[in-house]
Amino acid sequence: MTSFLKARMRRIFNAFTYSVQGFGFALKQKPFQEELLVCVILVPVALWLDVSMVETLLLVGSLIGVLVAEIFNTAIEAVVDRIGPEKHVLSGAAKDLGSVGVLVAILWAVGVWGCVVWGM
């Protein structure tokens, strides 16, 4: 195996390891736990519903979008908290913007579920 290929495989392995560590960090956060619980409940419901494959993908995808938004929000909060505990308008704005990203994802998921389930 060439050194280029070994280096490439090592980079991919490291990236995967960092992702697993990040997921572990997210699992320790209460909001992520709550949203993951909602996903554990609603994904089987989405698969059970008598809707098209596209609608099922929209239902599940909207839930995954909430999890992704929460992961990004957690990352933003971790960086802001790492910078320091003092209050600053930009630190507050960063946290607020991360939070509104989660809110938009949740509203999107509610809208998708409403349209698919009650529009059947």
* Residues belonging to the active site: 70
Cα→Cα distances 115→36, 48, 51, 53, 59, Å: 22, 16, 12, 15, 10
* Helices 3-27 and 30-48: angle between axes, nearest 10 degrees: 100
Is 34 in contact with 70 (CB distance < 8 Å)?
A: no
Is 6 in contact with 19 (CB distance < 8 Å)?
A: no
**Cα torsion through 36, 81, 12, 5, rounded to 10:** 180
